[in-house]
Amino acid sequence: MHTAETLIAFESKIVSHFAAGSLPCLIHLSGGNETQLLDIFSRVRPHDWVFSTHRNHYHALLKGIPADHLEAEILAGRSMFIYSRAHNFLTSSILAGTCCIAAGVAWSLVHSENVGGASRPDSAPHVYCFLGDGAEEEGHYYEAALFAESNDLPITFIIEDNARQVDTPKRERRGIFHSTRCPLDHFTCVKRYHYEPTYPHGGAGLPAGSVTFATAAIARLRAQN
């Protein structure tokens, strides 16, 4: 069972790997949303599906992927591509790339059970799809959310709103509409929470030039591929 402290401790360990040059490629670090995620995942069950993003370390840990396995995957250069069939967990580094896949899984769950809507038992699997406020500006998300809402699919899109896309704040991206409610926020399948991220986009936020990727780590990654 994870706590905010164990999540922070894990990510701090990954930061130390990054600072030491032990990673073969860029990483995206979780942080600042421990309380919100612990609340969300208190309702996520082992047989539910979770779709995540390039920033997936906390999601993976809370879905039950062992910390040592996750760390090994990150060290092998697969930080943005964590998946586990055993845990019904899939990620993608493509912006909004999992939204339509997640909607498709929700659709298949309903049709494989041949039970939908209010007739579907509470014990049936549910799909959770995480995305950022940058990804919600993508058409893939709109298509998936519209399809899910109109078909009453067992899926929740959770927008992790940190008011930035890469390093561009929402105010610059959306201009006079930066503080207005997004069109799909009234959907029952869409939830949003706001948080202040611990780390900047991509990496540990260390001074420029302070990290050099280890040659040996890069060689290991190439040998595996």
Nearest residue to 89 via CA among 132, 52, 34: 52
pLDDT of residue 115: 62
Please write the tens of the pLDDT for every residue from 80-97. 999 999 999 999 999 899
pLDDT at residue 10 tops 70 = yes
36 vs 160: CA distance, rounded Å: 9
Please write the tens of the pLDDT for every residue from 96-132. 999 999 999 999 999 987 666 667 888 899 999 999 9
Query: What's the whole-model pTM score?
Result: 0.86
At a CB cut-off of 8 Å and minimum separation 6, what does 27 contact?
A: 14, 18, 74, 79, 80, 202, 203, 204
pLDDT at residue 215 tops 90 = no
* 3-class secondary-structure state, position 161: strand
pLDDT of residue 220: 60
pLDDT at residue 179 tops 90 = no
132 vs 162: CA distance, rounded Å: 7
pLDDT at residue 219 tops 70 = no
85: left (phi over 0), alpha (psi -120 to 50) or beta: alpha
Give the residue-averaged pLDDT of 133-141: 89
Percent of the chain surpassing pLDDT 70 = 80
pLDDT of residue 18: 85
Higher pLDDT pick, 199 / 34: 34
pLDDT of residue 133: 87
pLDDT of residue 162: 87
The DSSP bridge partners found for residue 198 are none
Q: What is the largest CA-CA distance in the chain?
A: 57
9 vs 114: CA distance, rounded Å: 43
At a CB cut-off of 8 Å and minimum separation 6, what does 169 contact?
A: 163
pLDDT of residue 66: 98
pLDDT at residue 178 tops 80 = no
